[in-house]
Amino acid sequence: MRIRIVGAGAMGRGIAQWAATAGHTVELCDVRTEAVTAAVDFVRSMLERAVQKGRMSAEDSAAALERLIPLDDPWAGGPDVELVVEAVREDLDTKAEVFGKLEQALPESTVFATNTSSLSVTRIAASLRDPGRLAGLHFFNPVPLMKIVEVVPGAATRPEIPPTLTALVESCGHRAVTVADTPGFLVNHAGRGLVTEALALLEESVADPAGIDRIARDVLGLRMGPFELMDLTGLDVTAAVIDSIWEGFRYEDRLRPSFLTPNRVTAGLHGRKTGQGWFAYGPEAAPAPEPPVTGDPDRPVFVVAGEGAEELRNTLSEAGAAVESGAGPSGRALVLVPAWGTTVAAAVASLGLPAARTFGVDPLAPAGRRRVLAVTPAADPAAARDARAVLARAADGKNPWAVSVVRDTAGSVAQRLLASVVSVAASIAERSLATPADIDLAVTTGLGYPAGPLAWGDRIGAARLLDLQRALHATTGDPRHRPTRWLTERAQLGLELTDPGTSPADCV
């Protein structure tokens, strides 16, 4: 296939490298000729590096570079061009102008694709005489490494074009997911679940950014915490995406932005690219160490019955902790409440527990190597230090648990992050914006989560997850936590969240 790529910036040169390496003839062009020269040099250096690392033969590298053709005039005729991929700046008028000129220069059979990440594909196509020839083909940076592409049909896109683009993407070694033309498409939309909830936790002073990131990594198994991720992406970019998706979905509570971001963006605290974001970067910067464990690990504990209570009792007993049994705690015992979607304060009030020495423990934590201790405003600091020391005990005596201390909140940190990730993905499935399989594929490939959000929800169990979300919603009163219909129905019917279910169309 002969492909013309218009725009020789980071995305354009990445798409060019990907397509040429896969065996396609690629015309690379830009209104700035120096950008094309720089892009070809960059692709050459990437191919040379691949050869040096043994990922490609010298012959294949030379052949790929030979298939990459610098083009001086983006609007030149091209009777053999089968596909155009536009990768110019994110501006509707600019993209419309580009495709308008291409429509005059290229044959009617040429398929047009836009790499837009935030603009409506339908609106871009509307400027054409034939809007049916255009679809979205959204790559992620760096293109050769991010092996996922969103195929986005516009409202008028001809039905044969998305399957053609899907076949092209997959023949070149990437995975393709078909996504509705909605704000954020799929990956950016699904990613709002993590960062918006992390910001909400920070708003409520549940933990600081480093503390939330540690829990996200060590309890949930994410490669990168949400605040690290925002610093890597750039808070200016992240905040703009959050706002645009929230506005595009008509101020959906589940996608609600935070009041924390606008001032930080204005102050230039964008992250790695500015040297300071949620964290400091540079030669002198170092991550803040966790405070040492200083309490009494031998103080007796009493574990209140509830979600994960038996497992907590057993693991603490195996580690040599003095775990009390019986109907209630002794006068010196620390009281641990495994709270699922609720608060420690509610347990203190309903069960008559001693407020100064009662603490929450997240039942999700035993899956990792970090436990999470929740403290209320009534907690005795010395008792909290002792509780942290008890929870840090390890069965082997050599590898103590890391223990994060957070403010008491419904569901604690990990539960709220996970519930939000699953809820946003479930709302995407509920609206039929993408299939459950494509949602999970796109998120694991594009965002690097340890599991697709719907499959992750199935690991917890639909009924258990519904209990969590109902408890979060009832405890906080915040509509962002309300359960989705997708989750509620599947919990009631015994279906998995990854099951697309039967639709009315299947029955006629």
Q: List the one residue out of 294, 298, 343, 349 whose CA is nearest residue 324.
A: 298
Q: How are beta strands 334-338 and 358-361 bridged, if at all?
A: parallel
Report the run of H or E that residue 371 belongs to, with start and end.
strand 370-375
User: 16 near 28, Cβ under 8 Å?
Assistant: yes
The tokens describing 237, both together, are 């970019």
Tell me if residue 263 is catalytic.
no
Tell me if residue 117 is catalytic.
yes
Euclidean distance between the first and final Cα of the chain, in Å? 40
Burial class for 382, CB neighbours closer than 10 Å (0-12, 13-18, 19+):
middle
3-state secondary structure string, 133-180?
Answer: HEEEEECCCCCCCCCEEEEEECCCCCCCHHHHHHHHHHHCCCEEEECC
- 358 bridge partner residues: 335
DSSP string, 310-363: HHHHHHHHHTT--B--SSS--SS-EEEEE-SSS-HHHHHHHHT--GGGEEEE-T
Q: How are beta strands 83-86 and 148-153 bridged, if at all?
A: unpaired
Catalytic residue among 61, 188, 258, 412: 188
What are the C-alpha distances in Å from 254 to residues 87, 189, 427, 428, 451? 31, 11, 9, 12, 21
DSSP state of 481: G
User: 374 near 360, Cβ under 8 Å?
Assistant: yes
Catalytic residue among 61, 115, 138, 420: 138
Report the run of H or E that residue 378 belongs to, with start and end.
none
Tell me if residue 174 is catalytic.
no
Interhelix angle 412-430/462-476, rounded to 10 degrees, is 110
Torsion angle, CA of 113/117/119/122, rounded to 10 degrees? 40
DSSP state of 290: P
Catalytic residue among 27, 82, 103, 117: 117
Catalytic residue among 150, 197, 228, 307: 150
d(C-alpha 268, C-alpha 278), whole Å: 11
User: 259 near 203, Cβ under 8 Å?
Assistant: yes
What amino acid positions are annotated as catalytic residues?
A: 117, 138, 150, 188
